[in-house]
Amino acid sequence: MTEGKAAARLPAALESRRGDVEGALLAILPAEGAEPRDLVAAMRYSVLAGGKRLRPLLFLAGAEFSGPDRLPDDAIEAAAALELLHTYSLIHDDLPCMDDDGLRRGRPTCHVVFGEATALLAGDALQTLGFELLATRPAGDARAARRARAVAWTAEAIGVQGMAGGQALDLAATGAVVPDAERAGLLRRIHSLKTGRLIRLSLELGALHAGADAGRLRDVSRYGEALGLLFQIADDLLDVTQTSATLGKTAGKDSIQDKLTYPVVFGLEGAFRERDLALAAAREAARDLEGDAGLLAGLAAFAAGRDR
Amino acid sequence: MTEGKAAARLPAALESRRGDVEGALLAILPAEGAEPRDLVAAMRYSVLAGGKRLRPLLFLAGAEFSGPDRLPDDAIEAAAALELLHTYSLIHDDLPCMDDDGLRRGRPTCHVVFGEATALLAGDALQTLGFELLATRPAGDARAARRARAVAWTAEAIGVQGMAGGQALDLAATGAVVPDAERAGLLRRIHSLKTGRLIRLSLELGALHAGADAGRLRDVSRYGEALGLLFQIADDLLDVTQTSATLGKTAGKDSIQDKLTYPVVFGLEGAFRERDLALAAAREAARDLEGDAGLLAGLAAFAAGRDR
């Protein structure tokens, strides 16, 4: 999406770190022209297509109020791993056998440019590279237990009971007849797994590397859960209220594909109400973490305000 | 392949552990009927399709002569992770946009049974589950550094500079005009990345968890390198000398697809010579590791003997 047109903005303290995230992504991706040439080009094309870098910034936000430890410099490369994992999921979701989408961030999708086989491998290799970074950054023997835990949490969040599972539920639900009484529950479950888990995880990993204790981690998870929901409701609303040019991806796609979304299940006004409930929950969780500091509350406002 | 028809057999000490590997696979896969139903069914279908369980057994073999530590019981689940990663690569390789193969281990391939979208997600989720297991087994804080290292090594072995990279090079080379002087080098590179790296890694991870020192790890890597090459040459030979019924997968596929293989580059007799050179190298490396114990030498004989 184009941030300039959005009503809300990312909090300045996070916005100012986006350049560091871009630098980290350039540092961790294979160099331009490296072998295997097509695969490397496809990975770079999709990762370096712009975007808010939301998940790495959430990692940094999660570290901010959660623990006593200052993040070492190379933690930014662990944060950047989350962008690789997000990009892997986008590349595979866009493939013809999945959502068959030709436009993403205002550009042709990976398989349109590089072919399906290379796009498939680019997604595969980005998942792998994400895990490699989480297993090696931040460096140092003293941090090995946190790194191993980061890999385990991430795998749980993106695997069969997480992001990939949400995608599978979405596939099964698309075009299927879901009884009315089950629609809201199924929708929440799909969204929570498909998008919410990775957003929550990003905050949790920052907290983990900042040395958060169990109580603090619970608060971070609660905030992350609400924030993830907020982003997803807002995304569903964007799909019906914006044009493709503004979105940078195909608009109205959800309804064409008969997807289960908040506007479909709750109606447009109902979806806005759900959005406001999630915003209130995120603000309350933010207060427990940061007091009146405002960074996490600002993030919630950003998530909610993108469609107004 | 059907072991019964092969001239050589897996050493009995390894063969006897195959039941343990099967048990571990059943324990770590999501239960039958669990949600998301199709995705879980597809993962189980492909992983539980039989096969030699070579890579987990190599993990156990790598631990045998390499380090002072006894493997804890749950190390078998880290070993089994290698089978998940191998299966992930097979599912994606078989997809229509890649090798478009309909037969594997004597059964229809994953996408033929479950559709392309679910097969794609099953491969994705198996990669993730593999990393989850390597990050969590063997358990215990004292072993966290080894687990983090296991994840990092594995990511390197299967990523853009490893297995996925080899697949990309293979794609680029298939049907392309490769100058004669470059064919042998390119073939070795593709095979080493596509197949050899994961075989070598399996031995290395066993050695890592057994507490091998740097010198021992080097010896294990040298043996793994030779063994991986041996398996790949033998596989190329099998493709031209066996029928589909014996192989359990489509025979003659390499030549139909104009793939770069040992028989294509060196001729049939030349390929057998290359195979014998790799066997000699593996035997020599085995002697450095096990003396006259014979397990690793037996493995090499098994790898080489399958086609005679």
Nearest-by-Cβ selection for B156 from A124, A132, A141: A132
A17 CA: distance to closest CA in chain B (Å): 27
Looking at CA atoms only, how far is residue A33 from chain B in angstroms?
13
Nearest to A27 by CA among A7, A58, A48, A11: A48
**Cα–Cα distance measured from residue A36 to residue B70, given in angstroms and rounded to the nearest whole number:** 40
Ordered structural domains, chain B, with CATH: 3-305 (1.10.600.10)
Number of other CB atoms surrounding residue A185 within 10 Å: 11
Low-confidence residues of chain A: pLDDT under 50: 1-6, 307-308
DSSP letter at A5 equals: G
Contacts of B98 in chain A (CB under 8 A): 117, 120
pLDDT, averaged per 10 consecutive residues of chain B (308 residues), comes to 53 94 98 97 97 96 88 97 98 97 94 98 98 98 97 98 97 88 93 95 97 95 96 90 68 71 93 95 94 90 76
Longest CA–CA span in chain B (Å) reads: 54
Q: Give the nearest chain A residue to B30 (CA atoms).
A: A160
Q: Quote the pLDDT of residue A260.
A: 87
Quickly count: other Cβ atoms within 10 Å of residue A178's Cβ: 15
B43, B125 contact by CB (below 8 A): yes
Q: How far apart are CA B211 and CA A233, in angstroms?
A: 49
The whole-angstrom distance between A133's CA and the closest CA on chain B is 8
Q: Among B238, B231, B215, B200, which residue's Cα sits nearest to residue B288?
A: B215
Contact A117/B at CB under 8 A: yes
For B168-198, give one letter per residue: b (16+ CB within 10 A) or e. Answer: bbbbbbeeeeeeeeeebebbbbbbbbbbbbb
Kindly report the pTM of this predicted structure.
Answer: 0.94
Cβ atoms within 10 A of the Cβ of B4, count? 6
Average confidence score pLDDT of chain A: 92
- Residues 6 or more apart whose Cβ sits within 8 Å of residue A29: A40, A43, A44, A47, A48, A129
What distance in Å separates residue B151's CA from the closest CA in chain A?
A: 6
User: Of B63, B82, B65, whose CA–CA distance to B73 is shortest?
Assistant: B63
Residues in chain A closer than 8 A to B171 (CB atoms):
38, 117-118, 121
Interchain pair B148, A152: CB under 8 A: no
Residues A237 and A239: their CA atoms lie apart, in Å, by 5
CB A50 within 8 A of CB B171: no
What confidence score (pLDDT) does residue A241 get?
Answer: 83
Residue A292's pLDDT is what?
A: 81
* Contact list, B174 vs chain A (CB under 8 Å): none
Question: In this structure, what DSSP letter does residue A65 have?
Answer: T
Look up the ipTM and state it: 0.94
* pLDDT of amino acid A242: 76
> With a CB-CB cutoff of 8 Å, which residues 159-218 of chain B face chain A?
159-161, 164-165, 167-169, 171-172
Distance (Å, whole) CA A54 – CA A13:
13
Return the pLDDT at B105. 87
How far is it, in rounded angstroms, from Cα A130 to Cα A155?
Answer: 10
The pLDDT value recorded for residue B1 is 38
Chain-centroid distance, C-alpha A295: 18
Q: CA B110 to CA B101: how far, in whole Å?
A: 10
**Residue A103 gets which letter from DSSP?**
E
pLDDT at B252: 67
- Residue-wise DSSP of B191-226: HIIIIIHHHHHHHHHHHHHTT--HHHHHHHHHHHHH
Would an 8 Å CB–CB cutoff place A120 in contact with chain B?
yes
Integer Cα distance of B244 and B192 in angstroms? 25
Question: Is there a contact between B135 and A125 if contact means CB atoms under 8 Å apart?
Answer: no
Is A149 in CB contact (< 8 Å) with chain B? yes
Q: Which of A292, A291, A284, A308 is nearest to A300 (CA)?
A: A284
Name, in order, each residue with C-beta under 8 angstroms of B172's C-beta and a sequence gap of 6 or more.
A36, A37, A38
pLDDT at B191: 92
Do A164 and B39 count as a contact with CB atoms less than 8 A apart?
A: yes
Token pair 């950054």 in the structure block, residue: A137
Report in angstroms the alpha-carbon separations of B261 from B109, B227, B239, B276, B308.
23, 17, 10, 16, 18
**B155 contacts in A (CB within 8 Å)?**
128-129, 131-132, 135
Chain B residues with CB under 8 Å of A145 CB are 141, 144-145
Q: Are residues B59 and B85 in contact, defined by beta-carbon separation less than 8 angstroms?
A: no
